[in-house]
């Protein structure tokens, strides 16, 4: 993923947060570190789930 | 309505107030001072919403109509703040407030479209495309190429806006709204070591008679030195006490002048300074408020005028 794509990812994340919580558009705007902290956390969680899913599929096939 | 009319109506209401004791007569200068105080308070009420209807500026038909003559616009130019010695912030541009600025209403950045020298913005691309037609069609397959461009050769230049074209063709500028925020909010938009914010709508804050616009660093709206903004604001009204400093066109003869009308031989600019800008409804509200202010200075405390009029104050 390029730097531009990474920024777009952060923008899309923030755009949806702002839609759900309008106060985050100005008054409670999230800073960049916080945004990518959430994204990193979810990325770790996603990879762990994928890993577990693959493991389950392999064990069921056996 | 002129300032003379306001003065006459004020004196009628002041004299006929239902009072138990006589009031001291006011000189013209004192009346002008009270009217100025009431005028500023009335404008503040209408702008901030501290009024009976709880309506701020432009929130309903009456508030629009009342303040419409005082709404002005200016095109402040962004400055080279390197030369002035001020510290340069990364994604902040600065311009001066207009001279008659009183209250902020709205501001727009005027964004110059990329490469808009003579052709401007096209429907499908900001920049003017000068490559081969084949590349252009490949990039924008749904774009209908004008026949004259096809026959002209391999270079596509967006045509001037005509009845046959999309109305946003050939526009050189776009307006980007700017939101006024407090300093504490603006700092969330600064580019720092831990923050590279996405600024969808630029924000601005006011300090030292200057507007500081914070914009997206990675997608700048081409705010540069010499670029202009479009600012809408509530301007300072004509004062009843004539002030040479704020209205130099009045000349020295009018400095400190409290006469409520001027002679006929003066220029239109001077004569305008003796006109009341707003409509008659506002004039009546102003007179009522001014009478209240004038009475509360001398009224007996048992009538509690201060308590009753507190809601009128801005």
| CB contacts, 8 Å: A33 with chain B | 194-195
Taking each helix axis as running N to C, give the angle between helix A32-61 and helix A3-20, from 0 to 180 degrees, rounded to the nearest 10.
100
Residues 160-189 of B with CB under 8 A from A: 179, 181, 185, 188-189
Instruction: Tell whether B275 lies on the interface with A, counting CB pairs under 8 A.
Output: no
| CB contacts, 8 Å: B181 with chain A | 26
| CB contacts, 8 Å: A15 with chain B | 200
Token pair 């429907």: residue: B123
Instruction: Tell whether B190 lies on the interface with A, counting CB pairs under 8 A.
Output: no
Complex confidence, ipTM? 0.84
| Of B95, B51, B93, nearest in space to B233 by CA | B95
Contact B188 A31 (CB under 8 A): yes
| Nearest Cβ partner for B188 among A15, A29, A33 | A29
Contact B185 A29 (CB under 8 A): yes
Can you tell me the distance from the alpha carbon of B52 to that of B312, in angstroms, rounded to the nearest whole number? Answer: 8
Q: Which two tokens stand for residue B45?
A: 């009420």
pLDDT band at B229 (very low <50, low <70, confident <90, very high): confident
| Of B190, B111, B283, nearest in space to A32 by CA | B190
Task: Look at the pTM and tell me if it is higher than 0.90.
Answer: no
| Nearest Cβ partner for A26 among B185, B195, B196 | B185
Chain B residue with minimum CA distance to A31: B195
pLDDT tens track for B28-72: 888 899 999 999 999 999 999 888 888 888 888 988 999 999 999
Question: Are B112 and B227 in contact, with CB atoms under 8 Å apart?
Answer: yes
| Nearest Cβ partner for B198 among A10, A27, A33 | A10
Chain B: closest CA distance from residue A11 (Å): 7
Chain A residue with minimum CA distance to B204: A26
Can you tell me the distance from the alpha carbon of A36 to that of A29, in angstroms, rounded to the nearest whole number? Answer: 14
| Nearest Cβ partner for B195 among A25, A27, A32 | A32
Instruction: Tell whether B64 lies on the interface with A, counting CB pairs under 8 A.
Output: no
Counting residues of chain A whose pLDDT is more than 70, the rounded percentage is 98
Contact B195 A14 (CB under 8 A): no
Chain B: closest CA distance from residue A49 (Å): 30
Mean pLDDT of B75-92: 68
B148: exposed, middle or buried (Cβ count in 10 Å: 0-12, 13-18, 19+):
exposed
Can you tell me the distance from the alpha carbon of B94 to that of B210, in angstroms, rounded to the nearest whole number? Answer: 7
pLDDT tens track for B114-171: 544 444 444 434 433 444 444 444 444 444 555 555 555 544 544 444 434 455 555 5
pLDDT at B79: 75
Contact B185 A11 (CB under 8 A): no
Query: Which residues on chain A place their C-beta less than 8 Å from a C-beta of chain B?
Result: 7, 10-11, 14-15, 25-27, 29, 31-33
């Amino acid at each position: 993923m390029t730097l531009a794509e990474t920024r777009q990812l952060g923008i899309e994340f923030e755009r949806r947060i702002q839609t759900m919580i309008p106060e985050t558009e100005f008054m409670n705007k999230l800073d960049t570190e916080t945004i990518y902290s959430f994204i990193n956390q979810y990325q770790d969680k996603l990879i762990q789930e994928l890993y577990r899913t693959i493991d389950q599929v392999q064990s069921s096939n056996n | 309505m002129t300032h003379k009319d306001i003065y006459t109506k004020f004196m009628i209401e002041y004299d006929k107030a239902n009072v138990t004791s006589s009031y001291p007569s006011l000189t013209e200068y004192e009346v002008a001072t009270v009217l100025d105080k009431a005028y500023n308070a009335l404008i503040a009420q209408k702008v901030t919403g501290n009024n009976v209807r709880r309506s701020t500026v432009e929130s309903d038909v009456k508030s629009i109509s009342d303040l419409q003559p005082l709404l002005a616009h200016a095109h402040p130019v962004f400055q080279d703040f390197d030369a002035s010695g001020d510290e340069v912030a990364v994604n902040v541009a600065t311009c001066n407030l207009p001279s008659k600025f009183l209250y902020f209403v709205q501001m727009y950045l005027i964004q110059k479209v990329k490469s808009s020298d003579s052709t401007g913005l096209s429907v499908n691309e900001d920049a003017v495309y000068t490559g081969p037609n084949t590349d252009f069609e490949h990039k924008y397959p749904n774009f209908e190429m004008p026949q004259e461009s096809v026959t002209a050769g391999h270079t596509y230049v967006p045509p001037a806006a005509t009845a046959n074209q999309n109305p946003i063709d050939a526009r050189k500028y776009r307006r980007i709204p700017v939101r006024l925020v407090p300093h504490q909010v603006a700092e969330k938009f600064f580019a720092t070591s831990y923050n590279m914010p996405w600024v969808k709508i630029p924000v601005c804050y006011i300090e030292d008679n200057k507007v500081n616009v914070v914009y997206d660093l990675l997608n700048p709206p081409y705010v540069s030195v010499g670029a202009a903004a479009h600012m809408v604001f509530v301007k300072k009204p004509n004062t009843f006490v004539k002030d040479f400093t704020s209205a130099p066109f009045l000349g020295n003869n009018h400095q400190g002048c409290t006469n409520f009308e001027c002679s006929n031989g003066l220029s239109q600019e001077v004569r305008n300074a003796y006109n009341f800008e707003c409509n008659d409804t506002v004039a009546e509200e102003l007179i009522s408020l001014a009478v209240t202010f004038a009475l509360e200075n001398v009224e007996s405390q048992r009538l509690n005028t201060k308590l009753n009029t507190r809601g009128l104050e801005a």
